[in-house]
Amino acid sequence: MMPLIALTLLILGVATAVPTSDDNLVMFTIFTTHGSNISLPCTLTRHSGFSTGMRIKWTKFSRDKTMETDVLVSMGFHNMVYDSYQNRAFLREADEDDATLIITNVGLDDFGWYKCDVIDGMDDNTVLFSVELDGVVFPYFPRLGRYNLNFQDAQRACQEQGASVATFEQLYEAWRSGMDWCNAGWLSDGTVQYPINNPREPCGGEQNSAGLRNYGYQQKSSSFYDVFCFNPQLNGRFYWLDQPDKLTFDEAVEACRNDGAEIAKVSHIFAAWKMQRYDRCDAGWLADGSVRYPISNPRNKCSPTEAAVRFVGFPNKKHKLYGVYCYRA
């Protein structure tokens, strides 16, 4: 008989999952962190007994879906685990219909797409999981302008935005998910780097391949750059404050307070944009005095070519030209 794959969604540890749907494909995005364990649920529903010759196969695809690697194949009593997944990947097998894949100690190469197949010649239901690094990396410079932070300033600047200085792994993962930023920033190991996906002249050269451009270790007290910050998650609610007037910066701070919240920080707008696909084409004040707006669905007049948190600038705080984004913990 034909086994059907039934879906249940489990959340393990720090992982959170967001279901989305694209045509007939069921997809889940699972956010996780380095070193965590994840579980990718897949359940067989059998109408009658075990069909001999049935195989369960878990496959991984690279983020652009061009590279395919086998993770695990199960044929009855015999399980094969491939390459880098040996000793780290196994089927949970909580009962005889459980084909849930557990991967322990998640590392950089584990991010991407996973697919659960039940192969007996008639299988058709496909479940895809996108496993993503939890959190968001964002480039930051303060009102002072570009290339004004030594390492200590950089640490403080990220903290003030509700974040920490990104690690190399975090920036690398952000680069692999498409980040392209042509200003060099501090990382937590004291190196200065920037992520380039579209090689071009002022950003390390057209003839260099895409990658992280690395200035190496810099003098922590006397070298001045931007910084890459990392915010692991969004615990509270980020929102646009609906109110009729344009506000000065001080009025914006006050308006959020009157709404039982605080004016949102830069890490909040990036986290809401990345993890909730927050989209709003209205420029609003943020706590550092910058004005930005988050666009997930690129469109004319908002951000025509790319999903991005748009930066308007650090306007004069007395200008009554913008609304405000608030954050309630």
C-beta of 129 vs 228, nearer to ligand NAG: 129
Q: Which residue of the chain is nearest ligand NAG when measured via CB?
A: 37
Residue from 60, 54, 65 nearest 99 by CA: 54
Q: Quick one: 103 exposed, middle or buried, by C-beta within 10 A (0-12, 13-18, 19+)?
A: buried
Q: In Å, how far are 156, 168, 226 from 153, measured between CA atoms?
A: 5, 18, 10
* Comparison of 69 and 104: residue with beta carbon closer to ligand NAG: 104
Backbone angles phi, psi at 118, to 5 degrees: -110, 120
Binding residue (CB under 6 A) for ligand NAG from 16, 29, 33, 36: 36
37 binds ligand NAG (CB under 6 A): yes
Binders in 196-255 for ligand NAG, by CB under 6 A = none
* By the rule CB under 6 A, 39 interacts with ligand NAG: no
Backbone torsion region of residue 277, taken as left when φ is above 0, otherwise alpha when ψ lies between -120 and 50, otherwise beta: left
Q: Measured from the CB of residue 89, what is the shortest distance to ligand NAG in angstroms?
A: 11
Integer Cα distance of 219 and 150 in angstroms:
8
Strand, coil or helix: what is 84? Answer: helix
Smallest distance, Å, CB 71 to ligand NAG?
A: 17
Q: Nearer to ligand NAG by C-beta: 8 or 87? A: 87
Q: How far is the CB of 36 from ligand NAG (least distance, A)?
A: 5
Interacting residue with ligand NAG among 33, 59, 84, 104 (CB under 6 A): 104
Closer of 33 and 164 to ligand NAG (Cβ): 33
Distance of closest approach, residue 33 Cβ to ligand NAG, in angstroms: 9
Q: How far is the CB of 93 from ligand NAG (least distance, A)?
A: 13
Which helix (H) or strand (E) covers residue 269, if one does? Answer: helix 266-276
Instruction: Note the residue count of the chain.
Output: 329
We find the least distance from the C-beta atom of residue 97 to ligand NAG, in angstroms, to be 21
Residue 55 or 92 with smaller CB distance to ligand NAG? 92
Identify residues 8-27 at the interface with ligand NAG (CB under 6 A): 13
Rounded Cα gap, residues 163 and 172, in angstroms: 17
CA distance 310 to 106: 32
Residue reference for tokens 């950003």: 203
# binding residues, ligand NAG (CB under 6 A): 4
CB-based contact 319:246 (threshold 8 Å): no
Cβ within 8 Å of residue 298, ≥6 positions away: 304, 305, 306, 307
The one-letter code for the residue type at 286 is: L
Looking at the Cβ atoms of 37 and 183, the one nearer to ligand NAG is 37
Kindly state the smallest distance separating residue 151's Cβ from ligand NAG, in Å.
30
Where in 262-301 is the site for ligand NAG (CB under 6 A)? Answer: none
**Measured from the CB of residue 88, what is the shortest distance to ligand NAG in angstroms?**
9
φ, ψ at 254 (rounded to 5°): -65, -40
Residue 13 vs 313, nearer CB to ligand NAG: 13
Task: Report the run of H or E that residue 140 belongs to, with start and end.
Answer: strand 136-140
Residue 88 or 317 having the CB closest to ligand NAG: 88
List of residues contacting ligand NAG (CB under 6 A): 13, 36-37, 104
